[in-house]
Amino acid sequence: MRSLISMLFLTICLCAFGGTAFGQVLKPETAVEKWAGKTVMLIGAHADDDALAHGTLAMLQANGNQVYVVTLTTGNVGTQDPNLSRTQLAQIRRQEEQAALGELGIAAEHYINLGYDDGLLEFEDRKAVVENLVRWIRRLRPDVLFAWDPGKNYQRWHKSDHRAASYLAADAARAAMWRLLFEGQVTQEGLREYMIPEYMFFNDYDREDENTWVDISEYIEKKVNAGAKYISQFGPGWKSYKPSLSEPELKQMKDGVRSQIRMKDNKPVEGFRYYKGLPDAIGK
Amino acid sequence: MRSLISMLFLTICLCAFGGTAFGQVLKPETAVEKWAGKTVMLIGAHADDDALAHGTLAMLQANGNQVYVVTLTTGNVGTQDPNLSRTQLAQIRRQEEQAALGELGIAAEHYINLGYDDGLLEFEDRKAVVENLVRWIRRLRPDVLFAWDPGKNYQRWHKSDHRAASYLAADAARAAMWRLLFEGQVTQEGLREYMIPEYMFFNDYDREDENTWVDISEYIEKKVNAGAKYISQFGPGWKSYKPSLSEPELKQMKDGVRSQIRMKDNKPVEGFRYYKGLPDAIGK
Amino acid sequence: MRSLISMLFLTICLCAFGGTAFGQVLKPETAVEKWAGKTVMLIGAHADDDALAHGTLAMLQANGNQVYVVTLTTGNVGTQDPNLSRTQLAQIRRQEEQAALGELGIAAEHYINLGYDDGLLEFEDRKAVVENLVRWIRRLRPDVLFAWDPGKNYQRWHKSDHRAASYLAADAARAAMWRLLFEGQVTQEGLREYMIPEYMFFNDYDREDENTWVDISEYIEKKVNAGAKYISQFGPGWKSYKPSLSEPELKQMKDGVRSQIRMKDNKPVEGFRYYKGLPDAIGK
Amino acid sequence: MRSLISMLFLTICLCAFGGTAFGQVLKPETAVEKWAGKTVMLIGAHADDDALAHGTLAMLQANGNQVYVVTLTTGNVGTQDPNLSRTQLAQIRRQEEQAALGELGIAAEHYINLGYDDGLLEFEDRKAVVENLVRWIRRLRPDVLFAWDPGKNYQRWHKSDHRAASYLAADAARAAMWRLLFEGQVTQEGLREYMIPEYMFFNDYDREDENTWVDISEYIEKKVNAGAKYISQFGPGWKSYKPSLSEPELKQMKDGVRSQIRMKDNKPVEGFRYYKGLPDAIGK
Amino acid sequence: MRSLISMLFLTICLCAFGGTAFGQVLKPETAVEKWAGKTVMLIGAHADDDALAHGTLAMLQANGNQVYVVTLTTGNVGTQDPNLSRTQLAQIRRQEEQAALGELGIAAEHYINLGYDDGLLEFEDRKAVVENLVRWIRRLRPDVLFAWDPGKNYQRWHKSDHRAASYLAADAARAAMWRLLFEGQVTQEGLREYMIPEYMFFNDYDREDENTWVDISEYIEKKVNAGAKYISQFGPGWKSYKPSLSEPELKQMKDGVRSQIRMKDNKPVEGFRYYKGLPDAIGK
Amino acid sequence: MRSLISMLFLTICLCAFGGTAFGQVLKPETAVEKWAGKTVMLIGAHADDDALAHGTLAMLQANGNQVYVVTLTTGNVGTQDPNLSRTQLAQIRRQEEQAALGELGIAAEHYINLGYDDGLLEFEDRKAVVENLVRWIRRLRPDVLFAWDPGKNYQRWHKSDHRAASYLAADAARAAMWRLLFEGQVTQEGLREYMIPEYMFFNDYDREDENTWVDISEYIEKKVNAGAKYISQFGPGWKSYKPSLSEPELKQMKDGVRSQIRMKDNKPVEGFRYYKGLPDAIGK
């Protein structure tokens, strides 16, 4: 559409977007801890991808923001339990995800699952998936998008569904802003183009691009309780699923989540790459 | 899934489906003129494909049935007016279609347009389109499906979008009945599998398979008034669109629709191939 | 590759193919009942598609021919039993098919299943499926191919997997004869191009093209016993699967299969469209 | 785009198209033998598909029409000679085709080959092939299109490339008339939308739809000489290619072509299904 | 085709390519400022992608090189003006691009637009796009290719069309050199394989791989005037298009372009990653 | 399937995988020089991709491991010899590869070529290729997988087939471990899911991620002799193929291979990025 030369001009005009210069390290003008009244959308590949941001999501929910989680696949493949079927696994993953969101204070109806098969996301028709995500962006009209950041190293051999999810989310964010793309949504469904202005990208071990760390001190327990809901994805439940755990098992799960919490400046944090501006330049 | 040998067995068990033998000419047990309380779904490629059944739809609506029209494309290509854009054309086609349905007594909200580009339906990812139609079948759960019948001759060089629409509708009807197909809809969206039991196939000039003719004597005016709404698809409006017509132009349009009404046994009729039974055997 | 004008010339040279004129009704020179020493390959979409030819296959096996059944899908969708998973269904279908073939005297190792998902065959990459079938044709090098014939009426609204299977089988038969198509099989796998000379096409209710009827008088019981193995596709097992039936249920299944056997000239028969010649002209 | 109901109206307005009623058997108003000054385009799948119309093309060329032959594939697969490579075969097929057209008086530059691989046409991206054909239709702007007619029987098991070519040609003819389809050609290449008004469909053995027979009495020798150029597709050259034939071999080839010429009313003819009207209704 | 181990050997033989060792930072042997008599091809996704190299292109044109700009999409989506249609936008973008090239001294006929839809390039059939680019490479036979370089950071979240364009250009450069790839172009269109020997990759903000900076001191005004032609992509024209600007608006646009010009060693420059050698090793 | 949060938990349970922490530089616990009794699988795009590991493979073979080489394409494009056909080239590449493996002591039957066309791997249906690789992983059940590592720089403009091969291998390694992915292989072919535990990634010039260097001192001659078998990919044979070389030419080839051998700590080595753990985290 437009090369950067014109983007740069735009920054003069589009001061609503913050007038940020390109190339500089960005941070939110208002600290994430102060956000309120925002609509927040998270796009992940699997139930539990949002766990990387559970503390932050719990805080945002508590502070009067609306949080929506959109998951691309049903998670109907990832088990080592020889007795679970795809159907059962998809149902379990949904229940666990809604239970986890419940711990964060997020309503079950704010969980949207697009129903693709687990492990095969890259083989879906990409135009159709992007169109689907664009529809949800135009419906929810989020102020902030949380999504996978491929990261410098990680992207290269990125787990297939995560790699797909990271690109699909970015491509959808870009497409959603153009009235003339996926125009059937505009002319037939009453939706309007929409540009997401702010982004929080997360990653699981390639953290060199992080520029923003959210203090989740007050939301540790919510994060731990939420993480402990993913029984089918953890130790005992992964190899042999059961809907509830014994006390020691539950404690072990919670300890596991707790042990993964990162510390920065003596505070428990979740880290993100924050970006604000035109979606076309997300990757700068 | 199952070859016919097992289907034949099924007819023993599935008496709810009418126990019809294969190969015989079918007619509705209850005359269409007597249908009431049914949910009726029509799948077409373009706004105005339903015009072939406007008299019947008006009757069904009047008799207490719920009628839904699902159109696959926005119709954003088919004009000879050099000044219309895709956007304008899509908007016009939607307005015209809803106005036409209004003449038949069908609510504007009962018009569902899936937003695909006109003239390119066969190039869309077929699995994604079928999945979309399956979703609507499982939502609306129609008692009767109206759709394009390819017909013996016609199919061979069938207009591309119509050819696509006829196969897509049949494939969706078949897929919708299986719990394990497009299962994401079942596990994530609260939908359940659904088997459409009755079908009314229409065609525009290959009529040799018709087995059912609906007497539309009382709905001629509704059909004519509805047909006259498609200004962008007709004589003056096709070459040079204008939102409303002069009196003589309007009369000419209405005369045109009227002149196309078929007579059978001295009654104005619309003709269909009726089918009842398992979707797999639609084509028998 | 070549239009018919050259094909006609070929009939002069390729007298090995029988020198048949185009357009005439064909029958096997040697009655099917006398075939011996042939390799026979059947391509179907689902376990039980071969049931349409079970009497003939039993006869061919008994008469010293080698029979192979290639099924494209695992049949992992077509059930009304709410408790069966895809995995279970695929396993059951395989067991039933091998049990049925066992009744016909065909070894379990002669059953080849290509593993595609039931109900979605048309959405697979067609080039990859054809390449797969070409591989098996070049491996087995059959003298006769049994496959779905679309039939004049039936094709139009043909059940999706069957429609796909009929075209895929024909396209594979054509491609297999060319050394330069799917050449990796030739240069890397030690396979050589192969032209199938004879064909037996079957159909389930559109029989107007049949030209050959095989007398299966002596193989009725084998056919009935084989058909009765498809428990998961029949009456009681279709809605609520159980691995074995009660005596009355089994009798009902067998009666069902028996009642479907067609009579012609006072003999029980299975009907086919026989074709001999270049694969390119299969459809004449 | 538009259903037939509006097409019928159009026949009132678009009298330039002949005002033909739908469903009736059509014949050219001006006998083909009298055509002059027309641009004629033929779309085939392989070099030699045009041979079915060689007499007619020779006549049209002689009578002052411009004839162009567009072939979709290079024919680089269809040989039984174990020593020919794809490259050699493609080169030979091109030389033969241009030599054949030369016999008909058609210039070598009027031969356009789109370069697709032989035997794999159906696996190409259909949108890209149609776009390519639309480009050539908009460039050449033919008064008449010659193309494969699937025919009632033939289509069902139609040789794969021919089946593809028949649909691709029809779909391209339809798409070419809409300004808003493949619009890049209009905005970037200086092409304009174009509607082909007349069609001559050919077939090789399914002739029941023929409605027009062209008397080729005076063009027999040209047709025979042209047909004899396809050495790589015929008897000796098919199994073991050589660039030129001995006298007896050449005579045998010519006799072969001659023996295939059809007689009707004691005249040698080539038969076609003629159609005139909107491309959308080609298949009526 | 060949792993690097053999490439290294090749550098011994293929001294025409410069014998450069792998891994070292490359610079042109002859300074870009001295190039003459070369054919230069630029591949971009949108009209204005070439703006990143306008100074260099103006210089090359002035110095007696032939410059061609190939743009993949029509740019028919990227506007914020609610009144522009796709058609209008495509036309405007073409006019602007040709006007900009005119300022650089490049003839309008040297602008080639492949007509793909803006914003959807990644969803096109990649094989068809690469084939199209290979055709143009083999036609133009450039000594130097200018194209998008993904860059280390940038690629990860690269704007979708740019990401596609960067890979498509590289893949086409590689494919073009092989006689046996896209061979239809060789056997049917009179084209011959071609290996581009030199490359100039550009990027918009990820510049760490740059190794070559072109002094554009003398071409500043041309660059500024060219950049000022992209009215539909800039400030006032982006939100509300008008074909010409007021004096102050024009001045503002020119100031904008001018302000983006980079300085290095006190000279205005454009920066590139230069590469010379086998296309397979472009990314080293 | 599962985000990292759960992966981390798994490391507690799945101590069989080594309990490695994420992010740390990995090395094999047992030195590669000591490996014995392992099944080793290498996935490459072309015959000769394995040459980067020939010394290591020769050592492993000598030490009692089973080595299999799986090559995706036939290499039927990459020649500059104007007289070689695709067929000939594919045959030559196979012979050369098997001769090279023979020099390493690896049996010809351990060479598996999947038959895809050279240079077009990225345009194949990815799901079908991954499924094919998953089948071979489940058959061979390797303890170690050797494959292309994209590398930080290299990936960006990676030679198309290598880029494809690197992702396809990783995606197949991930998919193979899930019972519910490509389940047809499990239910129909008697294969079982399999997780490859160890990986050795190679690259040709982007070596910054290497963490393991194998001392190949004793296998230099085998490596040199093997490399000298790739006549069609080297100096004289690349431009004009001949099946055997003169003494000086052979010496030159061997010298070439020898000159490429890398030294580290005064020993000849081959370098790899070793990884052990869940396939999902290959890229960490």
Nearest CA in chain C to F128: C128
Distances (CA, A) of B79 to B83, B234, D45, D262: 9, 9, 31, 43
Nearest CA in chain B to E87: B85
Cβ of residue D244 closer than 8 Å to a chain E Cβ: no
Percent of chain E scoring above 70 in pLDDT: 87
pLDDT of residue C205: 74
pLDDT of residue F156: 56
Touch test C–B: 3 Cβ pairs or more under 8 Å: yes
Residue of B81, B83, B87 for testing the chain E interface, max E β-carbons within 10 Å: B87
Compute the average pLDDT of residues C8-23: 36
pLDDT of residue C163: 84
Residue F172 half-sphere exposure, CB side, CA atoms within 13 Å?
32
Which residues in chain D are closer than 8 Å to B46, comparing Cβ atoms? 1-3
Select the more confidently predicted residue: F26 or D162: D162
Touch test E–B: 3 Cβ pairs or more under 8 Å: yes
The answer to whether D74 contacts E183, with C-beta atoms less than 8 Å apart, is yes
pLDDT of residue F7: 45
What pLDDT digit, counting tens, does each position of B72-118 carry? 999 999 999 999 999 999 999 999 999 999 999 999 999 999 999 99
pLDDT value at B41 more than 70? yes
Residues 105-124 of B with CB under 8 A from A: 113-117
Cβ of residue D86 closer than 8 Å to a chain F Cβ: yes
Reading the block at residue E168, the tokens are 């498509």
d(CA D40, nearest CA chain C) in Å: 21
- Give the angle subtended at the CA of A210 by the CAs of A208 and A213, to the nearest 5°: 135
d(CA C233, nearest CA chain B) in Å: 6
d(CA A93, nearest CA chain B) in Å: 10
Mean pLDDT, chain E, rounded, equals 89
Give me the total of CB pairs closer than 8 Å, taking one residue from chain E and one from chain F: 100
**From F48, F118, F161, residue closest to E5, measured CB to CB:** F48
pLDDT of residue F27: 86
Which residues in chain C are closer than 8 Å to B1, comparing Cβ atoms? 46, 75, 77-78, 118-119, 161
Of the candidates A229, A230, A38, which has an alpha carbon nearest to the alpha carbon of residue A146? A38
The answer to whether E94 contacts D187, with C-beta atoms less than 8 Å apart, is yes
Reading the block at residue D169, the tokens are 């040609």
The answer to whether D283 contacts B155, with C-beta atoms less than 8 Å apart, is yes
Percent of chain A scoring above 90 in pLDDT: 76
Collapsing DSSP states into helix, strand and coil, what is residue D199? Answer: strand
Nearest CA in chain F to C74: F184
The answer to whether F87 contacts C113, with C-beta atoms less than 8 Å apart, is no
The answer to whether D157 contacts C171, with C-beta atoms less than 8 Å apart, is no
Which residues in chain F are closer than 8 Å to D86, comparing Cβ atoms? 85-87
Touch test E–F: 3 Cβ pairs or more under 8 Å: yes
Of the candidates B164, B76, B237, B124, which has an alpha carbon nearest to the alpha carbon of residue D181? B76
Collapsing DSSP states into helix, strand and coil, what is residue A32? Answer: helix
Band of residue E230 on the pLDDT scale cut at 50, 70, 90: very high
Reported ipTM: the value is: 0.89
- CA A179 to chain CA centroid, Å, is 25
Compute the average pLDDT of residues C183-190: 97
Compute the average pLDDT of residues D133-146: 98
The answer to whether D233 contacts C6, with C-beta atoms less than 8 Å apart, is yes
The answer to whether B74 contacts A184, with C-beta atoms less than 8 Å apart, is yes
- Calculate the CA dihedral of residues C4, C5, C10, C15 and round it to 10 degrees: 70
pLDDT of residue B266: 96
Neighbouring chains of D at 3+ CB pairs under 8 Å are B, C, E, F
Collapsing DSSP states into helix, strand and coil, what is residue D65? Answer: coil
The answer to whether E284 contacts F156, with C-beta atoms less than 8 Å apart, is no
Of the candidates C272, C54, C20, which has an alpha carbon nearest to the alpha carbon of residue C147? C272
Mean pLDDT, chain A, rounded, equals 89
pLDDT of residue A139: 98
- Rounded to whole angstroms, how far apart are CA atoms C92 and C84? 10
Percent of chain C scoring above 90 in pLDDT: 76
What burial class does residue B83 get, using C-beta atoms within 10 Å of its C-beta: 0-12 exposed, 13-18 middle, 19+ buried? exposed
Of the candidates B53, B64, B68, which has an alpha carbon nearest to the alpha carbon of residue B227? B53
pLDDT of residue B160: 79
Band of residue A159 on the pLDDT scale cut at 50, 70, 90: low
**Which residue ranges of chain F lie beneath pLDDT 70?**
1-25, 151-159, 235, 284
What pLDDT digit, counting tens, does each position of F133-174 carry? 999 999 999 999 999 987 666 555 556 888 889 889 999 999
Nearest CA in chain A to F151: A156
8 A C-beta contact, residue B176 and residue B71: no
Collapsing DSSP states into helix, strand and coil, what is residue C205? Answer: coil
pLDDT of residue A189: 97
pLDDT of residue F280: 83
- Rounded to whole angstroms, how far apart are CA atoms F116 and F73? 4
For residues A156-166, one letter each, b for 16 or more C-beta atoms within 10 angstroms of the residue's C-beta and e for the rest, the string is: bbbbbbbbbbb
- Rounded to whole angstroms, how far apart are CA atoms A143 and A38? 6
Residues 52-81 of F with CB under 8 A from C: 74, 76
Lowest mean per-residue pLDDT among A51-55, D219-223, E21-25, E170-174: E21-25
